[in-house]
Structure formats: structure tokens, C-alpha cells
Structure 1
């Protein structure tokens, strides 16, 4: 079994950040409309393209057109936002259906989940103030 690199080793490679996540979609126009309704700023592509990219701070959420088969649950993308309750209201105002109202989690975040049109689960979250976990 390979041992992880010792982070104190000079010049050892280390993970620095998440650059992007790419999600498959069966309907680019529908997916682009969903993410734009949530306020994601589009940086590349669009409803008629095979690839679309949205900026999330210094990271990106990408969409790629894929019609190979059903998209099954694969996990969850957790996105930190400045105002969880405001994002929830924005989603509802756009006619989107979050899975539940924002709540405070025992692990120290306020959050809610919403599923995109292709079944990808998104969690919008913000660390609770004063919680250092």
C-alpha cells in the first residue's frame, strides 16, 4: 500500500484547492437556466453549447452534455454562500424546489439541499459564526 506524502517534506506535492467540478446534463438549456436562476455567473458556453462553465469564486462548476444513459446519484457538491436563507428564498422565487428549509447542522453549518434537473444534489451552506469545527 502506498503511504501518503509527508506534508512537512520540502517540495512534496500537496493538494491546494478544488479547481472545478464537471456535471453531466441531458439538457444543457434546462441546466443552464437552473444555475442562472440561482445566480451562478456564466463564464463560458450557454444553452446551445456542449460545455458550459460557471464561476464560483476561484473555482468553477462546469456542465457537459451527455446523453449516454441515466445520471444516478453520485454524491453532493457543497457550495459556501454568503447568505443561506437568502439563497433559499432566491431558489423559491425562481420556482425551484429545495428539499428542505435551511437548518443548522450539528457539524457547524447552516445549509439546505436542492437537486438540479439532472439529479445532481447541491448543498448551499455557510459555517455558523463562532464555530471553529
Structure 2
């Protein structure tokens, strides 16, 4: 059996609102939301990030209820200052703060946010090299 990690899926209420958040993180996403229930992009390493609307998921899973929790997407920043800058940019793009930037005991500048649909986004950078 051959298995490899291939994709991360996000269920969202509004593509445009979600895309604004993830464009801020550097993902190449269209300015206009697609007129489809599913959209995906492939990162340079081949991993796909996929979006599906709540209505689309409910079409095959009528009991589906969106909620907080689940995995977070972690983004490494180039410096501790970039963690702070990206955190501010994401809040401006519609994300909600979960933990403001702070110096973690394990040697990283760290921050956590929630995207407009409650998916976790973590930002981090080494405090020193």
C-alpha cells in the first residue's frame, strides 16, 4: 500500500472572505470568488489546499455542522517581527485573534488566529538562530 499526504480541506461559508485571509498569507488565489461549490490550489510542494462551501458539504452530509476546532495551518515567518506584521495583516483581512503574538518558552515568536470560518492559523518564527 502506498499512501502520501495530499491535501487539507476547509469548509467555509464564503470563498471571498476566506480567500482574502489566505491571500494575505501569500497563497495565489483569485480576486473573485469562484462560482462553484469546490475550489483548490496546489502549493509548490504538491500539497493541495481545498475549499468547499457549507452547502456543498451538507449536500452529501446533511448532518454536517461547522464548528471550531480541528487542525490549524501553521505558517513559518522569516523573523519575529514578521509574525507581528502578519498577525496585524490577518486581523485586518478579517481573521480573529486567538492569541496575540508572544515569545513562547520553546524559543519562537508565536501567534494564533481563526480564519473567518473558525479554522486555526498559527504563525511562528525562531526568536534567535
Structures share fold, TM-score greater than 0.5: yes
- Asked if 1:80 corresponds to 2:100, the answer is no
Out of 68, 71, 76, the residue aligned to residue 66 of structure 2 is 71
Where does the alignment leave 5 or more consecutive residues of structure 1 unmatched? 1-12
**CA 1:90–1:30 in structure 2 vs 1: closer, same or farther (change >3 Å)?**
closer
Q: For residues 106 and 56 of structure 1, what CA distance do their matches in structure 2 show?
A: 31
C-alpha distance in 1 between matches for 2:38 and 2:7: 13
> 1:20-50 CA distances to partner (integer Å, 9 max, x unpaired)?
311112322322233224442227x944232
Instruction: Give, in angstroms, the shift of residue 93 of structure 1.
Output: 3.6
TM-score by length of 2: 0.67
Look up the SS of the partner of 1:100 in the other structure: strand
Question: Which 5+ residue runs of structure 2 have no aligned equivalent?
Answer: 59-63
**Alpha-carbon separation, structure 1, partners of 2:107 and 2:121:** 18
Mapped contact 1:42–1:52 kept (Cα < 8 A) = no
TM (normalized to structure 1)? Answer: 0.65
Q: Higher Cα Rg: structure 1 or 2? A: 1
Query: 1:42, 1:53 within 8 Å by CA — same for their partners in 2?
Result: no
Q: Which has the higher contact order (CA 8 A, sep 6+)?
A: 2
Structure with the larger helix share:
2
Tell me which residue corresponds to 1:108. Answer: 107
Alpha-carbon distance in 2 for matches of 1:81, 1:56: 17
- SS of structure 2 residue aligned to 1:117: coil
Say whether the 8 Å CA contact 1:34–1:116 is kept in structure 2: yes
SS in 2 for 1:42: coil
Match in the other structure for 2:61: none
Q: CA contact under 8 A between 1:29 and 1:48: conserved in structure 2?
A: no
Aligned residues: 115
